[in-house]
């Protein structure tokens, strides 16, 4: 079945550091890929998405490129801020794989940014 | 416009009891999905409903059931609660196709 693997956390960085959170996936069809963010005590918010190979999703300085050849969707940001501290989830939706229209999530990466 | 709303926000139940959680999707969204998020883990897909029909089900026992009403709101029912059912239950609504899912704040269920 479909699966998402993302790097274990917590990831602790200093403010203005470069961020990479790795995400790889396994899917039977042609998935759409997503990054969601969860701030403390809140629900999930969509951060960015990409629906086909080589697409780049971007939002709030975060970027991720859909790499079919490496089945990856790594999240990057050039200069993180304390306000970026949250849990980040990589997810896929495999609508053409014959499965349910539900999202498959990774386990999440807790990001901590220190001033 | 209101986002996805879930009720109640918190709930404490005893083992063996039954619970019903409620979700109202964003206006115009006909698809509703339910997820279970155990502390420290990613959300796990439970059900998806579209136009009042079940369109998908994750790997959860028959104690879990759901339905969708004509106004597209939804209820998730869990029977014979176990301690392991303690989790944050998230509802998400979306338009059809590969569009983004919008999540509610969740219902925190604690089984004691």
Q: Which of A26, A18, A46, A21 is nearest to B4 (CA)?
A: A46
The pLDDT value recorded for residue B56 is 86
Q: Which residue has the higher pLDDT, A106 or B100?
A: A106
The pLDDT value recorded for residue A99 is 43
| A97: confidence class by pLDDT, cuts 50, 70, 90 | very low
Contacts with B, A 73-102, CB within 8 Å:
89, 91, 93, 95, 99-102
Interface test with A, best of B43, B88, B107 (most A CBs within 10 A): B43
What's the rounded Cα separation, in Å, for the pair B20 and B18? 7
What's the rounded Cα separation, in Å, for the pair B91 and B83? 21
Average pLDDT, chain B: 93
Query: Tens digit of pLDDT for each residue in B16-52?
Result: 999 999 999 999 899 999 999 998 889 999 999 988 8
Question: What are the start-end ranges of the E strands in chain B?
Answer: 5-7, 10-13, 19-24, 31-37, 44-50, 53-57, 64-68, 74-78, 87-94, 102-103, 107-111
Q: How many CB atoms lie within 10 A of CB B10?
A: 10
Query: Chain B residue closest to A42 (CA)?
Result: B105
The pLDDT value recorded for residue A3 is 92
């Amino acid at each position: 079945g479909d699966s998402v693997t993302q790097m274990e956390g917590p990831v602790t960085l200093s403010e203005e550091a470069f961020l990479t959170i790795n995400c790889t996936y396994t899917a039977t069809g042609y998935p759409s890929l997503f990054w969601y963010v969860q701030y403390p005590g809140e629900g999930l918010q969509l951060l960015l998405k990409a629906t086909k190979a080589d697409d780049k999703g971007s939002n709030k300085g975060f970027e991720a490129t859909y790499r079919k050849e490496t089945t990856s969707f790594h999240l990057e940001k050039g200069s993180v801020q304390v306000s970026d501290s949250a849990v980040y989830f990589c997810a896929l939706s495999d609508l053409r794989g014959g499965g349910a229209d539900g999202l498959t999530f990774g386990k999440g990466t807790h990001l901590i940014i220190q001033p | 416009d209101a986002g996805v709303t879930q009720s109640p926000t918190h709930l404490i139940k005893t083992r063996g009891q039954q619970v019903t959680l409620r979700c109202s999707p964003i206006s115009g969204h006909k698809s509703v999905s339910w997820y279970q998020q155990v502390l420290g883990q990613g959300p796990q897909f439970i059900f998806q409903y579209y136009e009042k029909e079940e369109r998908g089900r994750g790997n959860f026992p028959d104690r879990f059931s759901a339905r969708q009403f004509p106004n597209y709101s939804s209820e998730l029912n869990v029977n014979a609660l176990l301690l392991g059912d303690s989790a944050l239950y998230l509802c998400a609504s979306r338009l059809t196709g590969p569009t983004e899912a919008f999540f509610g704040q969740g219902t925190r269920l604690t089984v004691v």
